[in-house]
């Protein structure tokens, strides 16, 4: 044993080694959770494609649909998480996460009703002399 490696240093090295091993284990477990457990079915892909082409889809998802139509990616890559590092994929998934999850479960996505637009002929505030 070297003179500089005191009991405290050896203890610190053991704690560090255990921490690194625990971190490696956590990374391996997280990697297993990153990708879906099953391959998307043809129906899943069809539902997602139809939704991405609809007016209900976000602009980010419609942009991703155009990229996929251009052959840059595939819906399988997107749905399996293989393209998760792509900025456009991340933006589309964040914008339409709930709808895409529902579609892959075979459900219809919930569409929020459109907000009524304010009419120009209505006064914004009411005062006694407004009428």
pTM: 0.56
Sorted by sequence, the CB contacts under 8 Å of residue 58 that are 6+ apart come out as 92, 95, 96
Residue 59 near residue 92, CB atoms below 8 Å:
no
pLDDT tens digit string along 38-48? 677 888 888 88
Please give the C-alpha separations between residue 56 and each of 30, 51, 78, 102, in angstroms, as whole numbers: 32, 7, 19, 14
Closest CA to 99 of 110, 88, 89: 110
Dist. CA 5–CA 12, nearest whole Å: 10
pLDDT tens digit string along 74-105? 988 888 888 888 899 999 988 888 888 888 88
Helix (H) or strand (E) holding 100: helix 97-104
pLDDT band at residue 122, thresholds of 50, 70 and 90? Answer: low
Q: What is the CA radius of gyration of the chain?
A: 26
Residue 11, pLDDT > 90, answer yes
Q: Which two tokens stand for residue 101?
A: 């999850």
């Amino acid at each position: 044993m070297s003179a500089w490696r005191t009991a405290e240093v050896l203890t610190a090295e053991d704690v560090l080694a255990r921490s690194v091993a625990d971190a490696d284990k956590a990374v391996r477990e997280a990697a297993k959770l990153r990708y879906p457990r099953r391959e998307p079915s043809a129906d899943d892909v069809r539902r997602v494609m139809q939704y991405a082409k609809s007016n209900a889809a976000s602009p980010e998802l419609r942009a991703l649909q155009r990229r996929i139509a251009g052959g840059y990616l595939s819906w399988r890559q997107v749905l399996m998480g293989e393209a998760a590092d792509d900025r456009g994929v991340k933006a589309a998934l964040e914008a339409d996460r709930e709808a895409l999850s529902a579609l892959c479960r075979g459900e219809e996505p919930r569409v929020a009703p459109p907000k009524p637009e304010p009419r120009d002929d209505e006064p914004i505030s009411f005062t006694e002399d407004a009428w």
